[in-house]
Amino acid sequence: MAREELAGNPLDVLARWAAEAGGLPAAMTLATADADGAPHARTVLATVVDATSLRFHSSVPTTKTKDIAANPRVSAVFLWAEQGRQVVLTGTAAELDAATSRAAFPTRPRPLQVLACVYEDLTPDEPLAPGALQQAYDAAADTVEMPPSWTTVRLEPVQMDFWQVGAPPHKTRFVKDGEGWRTYEVLP
Protein backbone atom coordinates (compact mmCIF):
# COMPACT_ATOMS: atom_id res chain seq x y z
CA MET A 1 0.00 0.00 0.00
CA ALA A 2 1.43 3.37 -1.04
CA ARG A 3 2.35 5.82 1.71
CA GLU A 4 -0.21 8.57 2.19
CA GLU A 5 0.44 12.19 3.09
CA LEU A 6 -1.76 12.56 6.14
CA ALA A 7 -3.54 15.79 7.11
CA GLY A 8 -6.84 17.07 8.45
CA ASN A 9 -8.73 15.36 11.23
CA PRO A 10 -6.86 12.23 12.41
CA LEU A 11 -10.14 10.61 13.49
CA ASP A 12 -11.18 10.71 9.81
CA VAL A 13 -7.91 9.04 8.87
CA LEU A 14 -8.46 6.39 11.56
CA ALA A 15 -11.98 5.71 10.26
CA ARG A 16 -10.64 5.40 6.72
CA TRP A 17 -7.80 3.06 7.69
CA ALA A 18 -10.26 0.91 9.66
CA ALA A 19 -12.59 0.80 6.64
CA GLU A 20 -9.71 -0.19 4.35
CA ALA A 21 -8.83 -3.05 6.71
CA GLY A 22 -12.35 -4.50 6.95
CA GLY A 23 -14.36 -1.85 8.77
CA LEU A 24 -15.72 -1.50 12.28
CA PRO A 25 -15.72 -2.99 14.81
CA ALA A 26 -11.93 -2.94 14.81
CA ALA A 27 -9.77 -4.55 17.45
CA MET A 28 -7.49 -2.30 19.47
CA THR A 29 -5.19 -2.93 22.39
CA LEU A 30 -6.31 -0.67 25.22
CA ALA A 31 -3.82 0.22 27.94
CA THR A 32 -5.01 1.65 31.25
CA ALA A 33 -3.25 2.26 34.55
CA ASP A 34 -4.62 2.03 38.06
CA ALA A 35 -4.29 4.67 40.77
CA ASP A 36 -0.80 3.31 41.64
CA GLY A 37 0.33 3.49 38.02
CA ALA A 38 0.26 -0.28 37.43
CA PRO A 39 -0.45 -0.83 33.71
CA HIS A 40 -3.07 -3.21 32.29
CA ALA A 41 -3.62 -3.94 28.60
CA ARG A 42 -6.24 -5.95 26.73
CA THR A 43 -8.05 -6.15 23.41
CA VAL A 44 -11.37 -4.34 22.91
CA LEU A 45 -13.46 -3.64 19.83
CA ALA A 46 -13.88 -0.04 18.72
CA THR A 47 -17.46 0.15 17.42
CA VAL A 48 -17.73 3.87 16.63
CA VAL A 49 -15.25 6.45 15.34
CA ASP A 50 -16.61 10.00 15.09
CA ALA A 51 -15.05 13.44 14.57
CA THR A 52 -13.64 13.70 18.12
CA SER A 53 -13.66 10.26 19.71
CA LEU A 54 -14.10 6.54 19.48
CA ARG A 55 -16.19 4.14 21.54
CA PHE A 56 -16.07 0.62 22.85
CA HIS A 57 -18.31 -1.41 25.12
CA SER A 58 -17.50 -3.30 28.28
CA SER A 59 -18.86 -4.39 31.63
CA VAL A 60 -18.63 -2.66 34.99
CA PRO A 61 -16.70 -3.38 37.06
CA THR A 62 -13.77 -4.78 35.12
CA THR A 63 -10.13 -3.93 35.53
CA LYS A 64 -10.38 -1.46 32.66
CA THR A 65 -13.45 0.39 33.98
CA LYS A 66 -11.99 0.51 37.51
CA ASP A 67 -8.71 1.87 36.11
CA ILE A 68 -10.50 4.49 33.99
CA ALA A 69 -12.58 5.64 36.97
CA ALA A 70 -9.37 6.11 38.99
CA ASN A 71 -7.24 7.44 36.14
CA PRO A 72 -8.92 8.47 32.86
CA ARG A 73 -5.62 8.66 30.94
CA VAL A 74 -5.35 5.78 28.47
CA SER A 75 -3.45 4.65 25.42
CA ALA A 76 -4.59 2.38 22.61
CA VAL A 77 -3.06 0.67 19.57
CA PHE A 78 -4.69 -0.44 16.34
CA LEU A 79 -2.52 -2.84 14.33
CA TRP A 80 -3.26 -3.72 10.72
CA ALA A 81 -0.25 -5.92 9.99
CA GLU A 82 -1.37 -6.89 6.49
CA GLN A 83 -1.58 -3.22 5.48
CA GLY A 84 1.66 -2.38 7.34
CA ARG A 85 -0.17 0.15 9.45
CA GLN A 86 -0.40 1.03 13.11
CA VAL A 87 -2.22 3.82 14.95
CA VAL A 88 -1.14 4.63 18.50
CA LEU A 89 -3.24 7.08 20.43
CA THR A 90 -3.25 8.63 23.87
CA GLY A 91 -6.11 10.48 25.48
CA THR A 92 -8.77 10.25 28.11
CA ALA A 93 -11.64 7.83 28.55
CA ALA A 94 -14.98 8.12 30.31
CA GLU A 95 -18.16 6.11 30.54
CA LEU A 96 -21.19 7.43 28.67
CA ASP A 97 -24.72 7.39 30.06
CA ALA A 98 -26.94 4.29 30.24
CA ALA A 99 -29.25 5.59 27.49
CA THR A 100 -26.36 5.50 25.01
CA SER A 101 -25.60 1.90 25.97
CA ARG A 102 -29.27 0.91 25.79
CA ALA A 103 -29.40 2.23 22.22
CA ALA A 104 -26.22 0.35 21.27
CA PHE A 105 -26.95 -3.02 22.93
CA PRO A 106 -29.41 -4.33 20.29
CA THR A 107 -26.80 -3.66 17.58
CA ARG A 108 -24.23 -5.99 19.17
CA PRO A 109 -23.85 -9.59 17.94
CA ARG A 110 -25.89 -12.09 19.95
CA PRO A 111 -22.87 -13.98 21.41
CA LEU A 112 -21.53 -10.70 22.84
CA GLN A 113 -24.95 -9.84 24.32
CA VAL A 114 -24.98 -13.21 26.07
CA LEU A 115 -21.43 -12.66 27.32
CA ALA A 116 -22.48 -9.26 28.72
CA CYS A 117 -25.18 -11.03 30.74
CA VAL A 118 -22.62 -13.51 32.09
CA TYR A 119 -20.62 -10.58 33.44
CA GLU A 120 -23.74 -9.54 35.33
CA ASP A 121 -23.81 -12.88 37.17
CA LEU A 122 -20.13 -13.63 37.80
CA THR A 123 -17.36 -11.57 39.36
CA PRO A 124 -14.45 -10.73 37.02
CA ASP A 125 -10.95 -11.79 38.06
CA GLU A 126 -12.14 -14.18 40.77
CA PRO A 127 -11.45 -17.91 40.30
CA LEU A 128 -14.49 -19.58 38.73
CA ALA A 129 -16.07 -22.62 40.36
CA PRO A 130 -16.02 -25.65 38.03
CA GLY A 131 -18.89 -25.36 35.54
CA ALA A 132 -19.90 -21.88 36.72
CA LEU A 133 -19.10 -20.17 33.43
CA GLN A 134 -21.07 -22.65 31.32
CA GLN A 135 -23.97 -22.47 33.78
CA ALA A 136 -24.09 -18.67 33.66
CA TYR A 137 -23.71 -18.76 29.86
CA ASP A 138 -26.62 -21.20 29.47
CA ALA A 139 -28.77 -19.17 31.88
CA ALA A 140 -28.07 -15.99 29.92
CA ALA A 141 -28.80 -17.51 26.51
CA ASP A 142 -32.44 -16.34 26.36
CA THR A 143 -31.85 -12.86 27.75
CA VAL A 144 -32.46 -9.96 25.41
CA GLU A 145 -32.35 -7.04 27.87
CA MET A 146 -29.18 -5.05 28.36
CA PRO A 147 -27.69 -5.97 31.74
CA PRO A 148 -27.13 -2.89 33.98
CA SER A 149 -23.41 -3.71 34.13
CA TRP A 150 -22.96 -3.19 30.36
CA THR A 151 -21.47 0.16 29.47
CA THR A 152 -20.12 2.31 26.65
CA VAL A 153 -16.79 4.04 26.99
CA ARG A 154 -15.81 7.10 24.99
CA LEU A 155 -12.12 7.65 24.29
CA GLU A 156 -11.07 11.14 23.24
CA PRO A 157 -7.55 11.19 21.79
CA VAL A 158 -5.17 14.13 22.24
CA GLN A 159 -2.32 12.57 20.29
CA MET A 160 -2.44 10.08 17.42
CA ASP A 161 0.52 8.50 15.63
CA PHE A 162 0.00 6.92 12.22
CA TRP A 163 2.72 4.48 11.25
CA GLN A 164 3.00 3.29 7.65
CA VAL A 165 5.25 0.61 6.24
CA GLY A 166 7.79 1.72 3.62
CA ALA A 167 11.46 2.12 2.96
CA PRO A 168 11.84 3.90 5.27
CA PRO A 169 8.61 3.57 7.24
CA HIS A 170 6.85 6.81 8.14
CA LYS A 171 5.19 8.04 11.29
CA THR A 172 2.89 11.05 11.21
CA ARG A 173 1.99 12.56 14.56
CA PHE A 174 -1.19 14.55 15.21
CA VAL A 175 -1.29 16.58 18.44
CA LYS A 176 -4.52 18.25 19.54
CA ASP A 177 -4.16 22.03 19.43
CA GLY A 178 -7.28 23.83 20.62
CA GLU A 179 -10.10 22.74 18.34
CA GLY A 180 -7.67 21.62 15.62
CA TRP A 181 -4.61 19.41 15.23
CA ARG A 182 -0.91 20.03 14.60
CA THR A 183 0.66 17.49 12.25
CA TYR A 184 4.32 16.60 11.72
CA GLU A 185 6.59 13.69 10.83
CA VAL A 186 8.55 11.95 13.60
CA LEU A 187 11.06 9.09 13.57
CA PRO A 188 9.26 5.82 12.97
Q: For binding to ligand FMN (CB under 6 A), which residues are involved?
A: 27, 40, 42-45, 56-58, 62-64, 124
Nearer to ligand FMN, 6 or 60 (CB): 60
Nearer to ligand FMN, 123 or 167 (CB): 123
Q: How near is the Cβ of 145 to ligand FMN at its closest, in Å?
A: 18
Nearer to ligand FMN, 28 or 160 (CB): 28
Q: Using CB atoms within 10 Å of the CB of residue 151, give its burial: 0 to 12 exposed, 13 to 18 middle, 19+ buried.
A: buried
Q: How near is the Cβ of 2 to ligand FMN at its closest, in Å?
A: 29
Q: Using CB atoms within 10 Å of the CB of residue 18, give its burial: 0 to 12 exposed, 13 to 18 middle, 19+ buried.
A: buried
Which amino acid belongs to residue 77?
Answer: V
Nearer to ligand FMN, 44 or 49 (CB): 44
Q: How near is the Cβ of 59 to ligand FMN at its closest, in Å?
A: 6
| 54, 48 Cβ separation under 8 angstroms | yes
The neighbour count for residue 178, using CB atoms within 10 Å, is 6
Q: How near is the Cβ of 66 to ligand FMN at its closest, in Å?
A: 8
Burial 80-92 (b: 16+ CB within 10 A, else e): beeeebbbbbbbe
